[in-house]
Amino acid sequence: MGQSEKTFVALVGLGTVGTGAARLLLDHGDRTARHAGRILWLNHIVVRDLKKSRNVDLPAGILTDDLDRLLADRKVTIVAQLMGGIEPARTIMLQLLESGKDVVTANKALLAEHGPELFDRARELGRTISFEASVAGGIPIIANISQCLSANGITSIRGILNGTSNYILSDMDQNGTKYQDAVAAAQRLGYAEADPAMDVDGTDAAQKLSILAHLAFGSAVRWDQIPRRGIDSLQLADFRYASNLGYRIKLIADGETRENRLQLSVAPMLIRKGTPLAEVRENYNAISVVGDAVGRVFFHGQGAGQMPTASAVVADMIDIATGRAAITFRNLKLWSGTASPLPVSELDTLPVRYYLRFSVPDRVGVLAAIAGVLGEEGISIASVYQHDDDRNSEGNIPLIILTHESEPQKIQSALRRIRDLPAGYQTVEHLKILD
């Protein structure tokens, strides 16, 4: 196998990531050849609209709007399928597999929705699907979990997996920017879509977490069964109170095993300043993985964007060309139903510290009443802060309570009882704390 031999490859889709992948393949053939042991020769790029102007110089004849031309080209063995959305991406991926091509994808929504079908079909056909770019863009978390940390039982995965929401949270936290203004800024910078719903409501992070949880824990949890809360209902005041207490608020995708059960969630949480996840700024991603042999390993990098994602796509193409990817894909038996996954907790049961904010009248007895309910539920108070200078229009003041580790059900029960007290104290916010 010499470096003058060619493996013919193709792209479907020439949007942001496709353009980046085309540049790497066309402008850095020496580099890919060195790592693949052979030249990756870009033979077709299939697009919907041939007329659209492109930000990359392409050799003549490479661009086509005819998918069948690619499907019929038996020389091409590796295709990066870089369309977003579910359809026609799903159908095209099946067609590519059926025409004998290994497929690289960055489409986490497609994998989270149709992973079992696609992976089963690939296995039946003896083909490989590689998907490093589908989670955390430039951070090679898929390879690290499924290969580099293979001697470990993974006990925890905790990450900031959505760069858009992290950009918004960082802007709110550091600059006191209002939510809507931070969203608009993220849109101006190209970090957020015109409709940022999937980013800010936790959907995107939950889809990525479902993929990581499958790799790390063998659990085939659908993303829409992961309890999740987005960042769209957070108020600026809580960033300020949290900061004064030494915390930042981050959207955390969390997978934890304890006592042979797995618990998954996506939610904004307080994280102590100075710890690695708390210091992830702007649109970066980060992931902290705990293995029972290796301990905690932390990864930080660009979670999206043209070239970081293209870096992952082309690394996957190289891995397929060398034969490594086929080995990994065969051994891992992803979504094959043969793994014996950990049971997944239906309920949020792991004890954790909480940040609670109530809006209460500034009078004697309020704290005693609230503390009384918490005490009756067995919830131990770590500290209490009252902000007399933050009086709202009704004259209510914020009362903030940090608890010791408490079971989530007890917190829920206590908050209901506090709401139902004769005075009806309102819980404005409650967030988990990671120390």
List of residues contacting its own copies (CB under 8 A) = 1, 20, 24, 28, 31-32, 34-37, 132, 138-140, 143-144, 146-153, 274, 276, 279, 291-302, 305, 307-308, 310-315, 318-319, 322-324, 327-328, 330-332
For the bound state, the minimum distance from the C-beta of residue 39 to its own copies, rounded and expressed in Å, comes to 13
Give the residue with the Cβ less far from its own copies, 99 or 288. 288
Rounded CA-CA distance 380/431 in Å is 16
For the bound state, the minimum distance from the C-beta of residue 335 to its own copies, rounded and expressed in Å, comes to 15
Cβ atoms of 40 and 33 within 8 Å: the answer is yes
Give the residue with the Cβ less far from its own copies, 189 or 327. 327
CA torsion 300-302-307-309 (nearest 10°) is 80
What totals of helices (H) and strands (E) does the chain contain, helices first? 15, 15
For the bound state, the minimum distance from the C-beta of residue 350 to its own copies, rounded and expressed in Å, comes to 24
What the block records as the tokens of 203 is 């959907």
Give the residue with the Cβ less far from its own copies, 208 or 300. 300
Nearest alpha-carbon partner for 7 in 142, 101, 88: 101
Nearest alpha-carbon partner for 100 in 187, 29, 8: 8
For the bound state, the minimum distance from the C-beta of residue 108 to its own copies, rounded and expressed in Å, comes to 18
Cβ atoms of 260 and 343 within 8 Å: the answer is yes
For the bound state, the minimum distance from the C-beta of residue 13 to its own copies, rounded and expressed in Å, comes to 17
Nearest alpha-carbon partner for 43 in 17, 77, 16: 77
For the bound state, the minimum distance from the C-beta of residue 278 to its own copies, rounded and expressed in Å, comes to 10
Cβ atoms of 417 and 377 within 8 Å: the answer is yes
Give the residue with the Cβ less far from its own copies, 156 or 322. 322
Contacts of residue 39, defined as CB under 8 A and 6 or more positions apart, other chains included, come to: 3, 4, 5, 6, 7, 29, 32, 33
Active-site hit among 101, 108, 208, 250: 208
Q: What is the CA radius of gyration of the chain?
A: 24
Rounded CA-CA distance 236/214 in Å is 35
For the bound state, the minimum distance from the C-beta of residue 325 to its own copies, rounded and expressed in Å, comes to 9
Q: Is 208 a catalytic residue?
A: yes
Instruction: Encode burial over 354-369: b for 16+ CB neighbours within 10 A, e otherwise.
Output: bbbbbbbeeeeebeee
Rounded CA-CA distance 160/213 in Å is 14
Contacts of residue 53, defined as CB under 8 A and 6 or more positions apart, other chains included, come to: none
**Which residues are designated catalytic?**
208
